Amino acid sequence: MARNCKEKRSFGSTARRWWKENVVYQIYPRSFCDSNGDGVGDLNGIRSKLGYLKELGIHILWLSPVYKSPNDDNGYDIADYRAIMDEFGTMEDFDALLAEAHQMGIKIVMDLVVNHTSDEHQWFVESRSSRDNDKRDYYIWREAVDGHEPNNWGSCFSGSAWEWDETTGMYYLHCFSKKQPDLNWENPKVRDEVFDMMTWWCEKGIDGFRMDVISMISKKEGLPDGPVEGLYSPCMYGTCNGPHVHEYLQEMNRRVLSKYDLMTVGETAGVTVEEAKKYANAEGTELNMVFQFEHVGLDEGPGGKWSITPMSIPALKENLTKWEKELDGVAWNSLFFCNHDQPRVVSRLGDNSPQSAKCIATMLHFMQGTPYVYQGEELGMTNCPFGSIEDYRDIESINAYRELTEAGLRQPEELLECIAYKSRDNARTPMQWDDSPNAGFTTGQPWIMVNPNYTTINAAAELADPDSVFNYYKQIIALRQDSKWSDVIVYGSYDLLAPEAGRSAASEVPLDGNEAVFAYTRHREGRSPGSAARRQKDGVTLLVVCNLSDQARTFPVPENVQWDSAELVTGNVPQADLTLTRELALAPWQAAVWALN
Ligand code: GLC
Ligand code: CA
């Protein structure tokens, strides 16, 4: 398992790595497949679907947390890092899943949640028991200040980020729920414990870590008050990209990561391009890649997460292009729209139609970076028509609703509309396997409602339909592995085309004219020795054109594009329907990729 450490590597965009060449499929185990009828997905359920994932062409799975947890935040509150959650099965089930996945050529990346633990973790149970317990400094304890919380930080899940603990008469910090106390990374013993635990999993043979809110582990010196938004100062201000975060990750890399051949991705909320260049630097001293959120913040209104503004396509193009250009050759990015914390992209950027799902997939998967598919995205699964607040299960949505309506800051109906659009529960409804009751997810009562559209959107129907969203995903995933294209798709440079095409100053009218057309090229030089001109000529250029709107559009094709030799690589409209001209006519949600040679 341990690899030769002398082999010093560069991870720049030209260095070949398996975690660049594959697509990652994320599983939210609670909602994927229930094998025993208790209404909760589980490890044996996942194992029973490996064939489905193989069919899709997946070689890397990221599992959201499967560890022992009281489930205040569905497993992101871990009570024992070396045990499996009772509802999900046993360690034997995990070992069987890992072995079978490996036999099928599928790697497994584990969620690593070490910014915080559960308050039911043994470390916290001891830490809170007395002021002089050995584990007291494993967490962040502070005295009250004038009978109040030590600072004005708010938790990401509403309320103060501090909880008063009666036993010892002090506050502890929790950036998420009060059942998720933050670990004190300044304490070297905490780092030893975390690194030992990671080594234990690596020795078991897992293939990597997705690191939960890893940009938040080093808090600002002195925990100062921050700027207030609403009732508190969002704790992100005092925790993201803190003073020691890179030092801690470099230590982690030296002591654990560098000893194995892993995929490591940091969930880096609040990361800037400059910071990302450090987290995912090409020298490989920290992590392989970042997973950042700027583009999914573009439909946030002035009131933050629970206010909505339409996603502006020019802003989206500009933002994604910035990340493409800035990281090229110096760091590596993740390509995603969906995960377990995001609403469904087909309901957000698309119009719920299969064509829009395919168009968005094309736009994303042909950029430089590692693409992620979140369970059900490959079926075009949509947001769920939740009714009242009682339909929700997510602590973030429920707490926000309570806090904002009770404080009189928002009207219930209006807030519910925003929650329906943005809630994380949209991603967490059960996977839609077939049109049998409960979408074939469980024979019991599912823990959260099933989206009623499962009768038409489901895996069984889509596997059988050559034109389905599933089969489109399968095709673009296969192209990434096709020796003819993989080089340019994975390693090619990126250029946005005609960014200003039809772009009016009115970004409030996002779908106005050609600005909804997202077009770019990817280019990879040939490898033949000889002149640069020769390599340019031997190279491959892809032209990707996506009409991100439900209206017909045109796209002004640049003069240097030679249609006569263009080859259609993929698209969601048949070749016969394409007329290649300087003013390319695009159907609603049309996407196409050509090779220009
Ligand atoms: C990350 C996870 C999210 C979780 C939070 C706290 O953002 O993706 O689901 O609630 O961290 O662990
Ligand atoms: Ca179950």
Query: Which of 109, 155, 213 gets mutated to test ligand 1 (max ligand atoms within 8 A of its CB)?
Result: 213
User: Active-site residue among 72, 73, 212, 396?
Assistant: 212
> Which residues fall inside 5 Å of ion ligand 2, going by CB?
34, 36, 38, 40, 42
Cα-based angle 378, 392, 120 (whole degrees, multiple of 5): 100
Residue type at position 284: G
Residues with CB under 6 Å of ligand 1 are 73, 76, 113, 176, 212-213, 267, 340-341
Answer whether 207's CB lies under 8 Å from 59's CB: no
Q: Which of 541, 560, 559, 548 is nearest to 502 (CA)?
A: 548
The answer to whether 256 and 195 are in contact (CB under 8 A) is yes
Closest ligand 1 atom to residue 269 Cα is 7
* Ligand 2: centre distance to CA 87 (Å): 6
Q: How much distance in Å is there from the Cα of 76 to the middle of ligand 1?
A: 6
Atom of ligand 1 nearest to the CA of 175: 6
Please identify, by atom number, the ligand 1 atom nearest to the C-alpha of residue 339. 8
Please say whether the beta carbons of 474 and 464 come within 8 A. Answer: no
Q: Single out the residue of 157, 108, 193 nearest to residue 404, CA to CA.
A: 157
Q: Which atom of ligand 1 is nearest to the CA of 157?
A: 10
- Give dist(CA 407, CA 159) in Å, integer: 11
Residue with tokens 């707490």: 399
> Quick one: which atom of ligand 1 is closest to the CA of 341?
9
Listed in order, strand segments (DSSP E) in 144-184 are: 153-154, 162-165, 170-173
Which of 178, 146, 144, 179 minimizes the C-alpha distance to 160?
178
Cα distance between residue 411 and residue 399, in whole Å:
15
Q: Which two tokens stand for residue 536?
A: 């340019």
Element (H, E) at 55: helix 50-56
How far does the centroid of ligand 2 lie from the alpha carbon of residue 51, in Å?
19
- Backbone φ/ψ region at 496: left (φ over 0), alpha (ψ -120 to 50), beta: beta
Looking at ligand 1, which residue's alpha carbon is closest to its atom 4?
Answer: 76
Q: Which ligand is nearest to the CA of 212?
A: 1
Which ligand is the nearest neighbour of the Cα of 34?
A: 2
Mutation pick for ligand 1 pocket among 74, 176, 425 (CB with most ligand atoms within 8 Å): 176
- Contact at 8 Å (CB) between 142 and 168? no
- Residue owning the nearest CA to atom 9 of ligand 1: 341
User: What b-and-e string marks burial along 412-449, b requiring 16 or more CB atoms within 10 Å of the CB?
Assistant: eeebbebbbebbbbbbbbbbbbbeeebbbbbeeebbbb
**Whose alpha carbon is nearest atom 7 of ligand 1?**
213
Q: What is the position in ligand 1's atom list of the atom closest to the CA of 76?
A: 12
Tell how far the Cα of 53 is from the centroid of ligand 2, in angstroms: 19
Distance, in Å, from the CA atom of 338 to the CA atom of 373, rounded to the nearest integer, reads 7
Provide the 3-class DSSP secondary structure of residue 103: helix
For residue 236, the CA-to-ligand 2 centroid distance in Å is 35
What one-character DSSP code corresponds to residue 183? Answer: B
- pLDDT string in tens for the chain (597-residue length): 444 433 344 444 568 999 999 999 999 999 999 999 999 999 999 999 999 999 999 999 999 999 999 999 999 999 999 999 999 999 999 999 999 999 999 999 999 999 999 999 999 999 999 999 999 999 999 999 999 999 999 999 999 999 999 999 999 999 999 999 999 999 999 999 999 999 999 999 999 999 999 999 999 999 999 999 999 999 999 999 999 999 999 999 999 999 999 999 999 999 999 999 999 999 999 999 999 999 999 999 888 899 999 888 989 999 999 999 999 999 999 999 999 999 999 999 999 999 999 999 999 999 999 999 999 999 999 999 999 999 999 999 999 999 999 999 999 999 999 999 999 999 999 999 999 999 999 999 999 999 999 999 999 999 999 999 999 999 999 999 999 999 999 999 999 997 765 444 444 444 455 689 999 999 998 877 777 777 667 789 999 999 999 999 889 898 888 888 899 999 999 988 888 888 899 999 999 999 997
pTM value is 0.95
Specify whether the CB–CB gap between 140 and 174 falls below 8 A. no
**Nearby residues of 516 by Cβ (< 8 Å), 6 or more positions away:** 313, 502, 510, 547, 548, 549, 551, 553
212 tagged catalytic: yes
Cα separation, 287 vs 273, whole angstroms: 15
The catalytic residue among 267, 324, 341, 396 is 267
Q: How far is the CA of 346 from the centre of ligand 1 (A)?
A: 22
Ligand 1 atom 5 nearest Cα:
76
Cα-to-centroid distance, 45 and ligand 2 (Å): 7
Closest ligand to residue 48's CA:
2
Q: Give 393 Cα–ligand 1 centroid separation in angstroms.
A: 15
**Beta strand segments in 53-135, E:** 60-63, 67-68, 80-84, 107-112
